[in-house]
């Protein structure tokens, strides 16, 4: 997993509407970049809803919120509509950003080992440098912890 103080790797992925979005599009703005395992699963839905509930706080501070998973553009569109998500969701089926940020890792669930996305958040400053790394975050408190950190 990447560490704070280094330049955030740039990437270009499609959003829920199929538009290409690059991390570099947000230079000049602070970014909350969060990686999550899968649309419409209990933890990921709670995390997305927590970000949606806190979104005004991010918007007031001119902070972009971007969620990334391996799900398809279509899955993201349905997920965003279902929960009325106001922030950017990017589809990374080829794990371009997921692997660049080191969040594709071995996970243990019910004694079984498998590879998957470790729920992680990166705060990236206005110059594109990783300011803070939050590995293995909790879905319900991730958004509020970030807002508290950014005070």
Strand, coil or helix: 34: strand
Q: Which residues face 123 on adjacent strands?
A: 32, 132
- Please count the residues of the chain: 151
Establish whether 44 is a catalytic residue: yes
Q: Which two tokens stand for residue 118?
A: 């470790």
Token pair 């279509």 is at which residue? Answer: 74
Q: Which of 13, 21, 23, 44 is catalytic?
A: 44
Q: Number of C-alpha atoms within 13 angstroms, CB side, residue 138?
A: 4
CA distance 41 to 28: 33
By annotation, the residues acting in catalysis are 44
């Amino acid at each position: 997993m990447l560490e704070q103080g280094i330049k955030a790797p740039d990437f270009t992925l499609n959003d829920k509407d199929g538009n290409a979005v690059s991390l570099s599009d947000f230079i000049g703005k602070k970014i909350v970049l969060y990686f999550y395992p899968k649309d419409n699963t209990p933890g990921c839905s709670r995390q997305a809803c927590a970000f949606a509930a806190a979104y005004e706080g991010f918007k007031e501070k001119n902070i972009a919120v971007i969620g990334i998973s391996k799900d398809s553009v279509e899955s993201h569109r349905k997920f965003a509509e279902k929960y009325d998500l106001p922030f950017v969701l990017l589809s990374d089926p080829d794990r371009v950003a997921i692997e660049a940020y080191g969040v594709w890792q071995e996970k243990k669930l019910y004694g079984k080992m498998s590879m998957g996305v470790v729920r992680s958040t990166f705060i990236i400053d206005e110059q594109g440098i990783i300011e803070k790394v939050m590995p293995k975050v909790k879905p319900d408190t991730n958004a509020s912890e970030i807002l508290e950190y950014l005070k």
